[in-house]
Structure 1
Amino acid sequence: MSNYLKKFNLSVIQSRSRLRRFLTKLEKQPPKTLDLIAEEVDKEVWAETNCLACSNCCRNMTPTYTFQDIKRIATHFRMSISDFKAKWLYKNKQGEWMNVSQPCQFLDLKTNMCSIYAIRPQDCADFPHLTKKKMVDYMHVHKQNVQYCPATFKMVEKMMERVGILR
């Protein structure tokens, strides 16, 4: 594990509960300008975040594959959809297709790069969903991702600075 990930994991242990409580309060009492604040914070977070220093999401989480994702990636590997699913995916209780293994089979562990980056699942392309929807509608995802994603962690810390009344 890199020093970057070690430091991040220590920060998570120290702050996860506090950050999740803040997100719960923010969900219950969202300021009217919450989405505007989230957009500002998003820009700051990505100016400070290098995903290639981390890849924690690919190491510890799995995307949900849509039919379009499966078809696109299977075609890339010149596989049938059923062969692709049999080799790399399973269907969870909600009927969603997920990676069988972690870390992700498409992650190069030496470089932290995705071997199918250009055709990766949409869930990966959208991760960590900082401004995907209205902020208040996505709090449950941020509560989960704060322990895996340094960008989400930074986003919540910056939101706490901006929305100080809810600390």
Structure 2
Amino acid sequence: MAKPVDFPAFKQKVSENKVAMRRFLGKLEKEPPRFLDKMAVALEGEVWQHTDCLSCANCCKTMSPTFTQQDIKRIATHLKMTPSAFKEQWLDYDEKEGEWSNKKQPCQFLNLATNKCHIYEVRPDDCAGFPHLTKRKMKDYLHVHQQNVEYCPATYRMVERMQQQVVKKKGEWIFTYPD
């Protein structure tokens, strides 16, 4: 069973280790090992044993997903709104990035008393995939993990385990599978 997140302890660990974790992920990104995807799958189960998202919800409190046009249509329909009305009420458009995101934080759909999402069944794809631990091409998400170690205890745990089990010997990355 997943353990509740001790958020003060998590923030302390992040302040002590995020630089080293980001540096480690940067090295993997520059020279990704062949086993990267298999390693993520091998570690994911353990990560979720140590992380109860509902005891945390830091992603919903401090980050904003990007909303695709399909997300906007699906959520607007669920809320019995037009996509235009939904965007006007809840979203901002970033001209530079070309992306829709929440107008405010924490997320307007987060129930702060329970850490549950009011639109969970139709949430944005970005939320459904978060924290993107086992993407098919993990090497393409290492830069995302560099950011997320600071916000997501599951990502932090994954990178922590990677640091313990991935070493470079004779110029080659080696993964020592978990026991």
> In which range does the TM-score fall when normalised by the shorter chain?
over 0.9
Identity of aligned residues (%): 56
**CA shift for structure 1 position 7:** 1.4
- For structure 2, the residue ranges without an aligned partner over 5 or more in a row are 174-179
- For structure 1, the residue ranges without an aligned partner over 5 or more in a row are none
Q: Aligned AA for 2:104?
A: S
Task: Find the counterpart in structure 2 of residue 80 from structure 1.
Answer: 82
SS state at 1:164 partner: strand
Runs of 4+ residues over 6 Å off in structure 1: none
SS state at 1:49 partner: coil
Task: Find the counterpart in structure 2 of residue 127 from structure 1.
Answer: 130
**CA shift for structure 1 position 29:** 2.6
**CA shift for structure 1 position 3:** 7.7
Corresponding residue to 2:101 among 83, 98, 102: 98
Task: Find the counterpart in structure 2 of residue 154 from structure 1.
Answer: 157
Moved more, 31-40 or 83-92: 31-40
Alpha-carbon distance in 2 for matches of 1:3, 1:134: 28
Alpha-carbon distance in 1 for matches of 2:5, 2:127: 24
Alpha-carbon distance in 2 for matches of 1:163, 1:30: 11
1:50-87 per-residue CA deviation (whole Å, 9 max, x = no partner) reads 10010000000000001111111111111111110000
Instruction: Please state if 1:68 is matched with 2:70.
Output: yes
Corresponding residue to 2:23 among 5, 8, 21: 21
Alpha-carbon distance in 2 for matches of 1:16, 1:139: 14
Alpha-carbon distance in 2 for matches of 1:3, 1:23: 23
TM normalised by structure 1 equals 0.94
**CA shift for structure 1 position 132:** 1.7
Alpha-carbon distance in 1 for matches of 2:67, 2:104: 14
Q: Aligned AA for 2:79?
A: F
Alpha-carbon distance in 2 for matches of 1:53, 1:140: 26
More strand by share: 2
TM normalised by structure 2 equals 0.88
Alignment RMSD (CA, Å): 1.5
